Structure 1
């Protein structure tokens, strides 16, 4: 339906890369270049952008070339490539992912947030292998002290069923609940309650008191 509301039109830009009108499609490709920093929004749109390179209209092809360059510049940075490669290995070649983890083991705290999050993919192997479990436990301890709250949360969620790791995860959830607000706090408290119901016998008196509060 025709509309004059610019906010509505901007929201619709996320869906107009496949629009039959070549000018709307080209304008959408230009718009997406302006939000190139938001990788979560842009990554699923990569195939559609590439398909526009073969569009019959030169206006669409021109903007598609610029959009693909934006992908190369923003999404395919060395850090993003390393993250994608590690996630791929974790799901398709776990031994190689473990090998890669061991190679960067002493640099965990210096990695950026995206790479730290990808490192957590090895939790799939942690459930099935005991050979590297001591390393995994130490890895989780390192990531529980990350500067990123998202990494801390995921690390606490991924902690092995080890008494020391359970206590560290519970304390991490408590600290996150203190620092976060609104819906995030409720999610953290829910996870903390689940952890306590499963491993309450592991938590010492002081930590259990913090959890109840």
Structure 2
């Protein structure tokens, strides 16, 4: 990424219910001031996984000159962490993340020139919710591995679980298993390697997103 023009910054974001000052960290690949093409804003998954797994999108700038804007959503990565809000369902909402996204777009003055959004997993759900509000400047959205219906998503997960061995499936489906136990972690790893990412070894950017979730699961465990 060092071969491309890259800038980083932090934006203050007004979240009164957080009870403390908050900031959003962002990184831009490309120069927004001279780019002919509208930028792409990358919405990562989780919530709480961070931007790292989206870095492959840098290829869009390399091949087509599309500036890419990465950022860590509030509660993870280099943005403000709010571990004290774990379990607070009134705090961790789509509205919170939409307010943060709007704040980023306004700070970077993207409304007039327009912008695109690509959302992966939870980021795709966020992108859909955001687009439904018809924000000024939004041109296109791309949804990657993003469920449009949580009931259908749960149904699909059950079908995938049914394809695993009985011993693994029993651990993952049990309501009594401690999710912090090695037994559960081993079973979850089988699920991940079977259905989520089959690369061995797992790429460093993906491992960083997993570490983000492990280090601060506040948003993920609540939502």
Q: TM-score range by the shorter chain?
A: under 0.3
- More RCO (CA 8 Å, sep 6+): 2
Q: TM-score w.r.t. structure 1 length?
A: 0.24
Higher strand share: 2
Q: TM-score w.r.t. structure 2 length?
A: 0.23
Higher helix share: 1
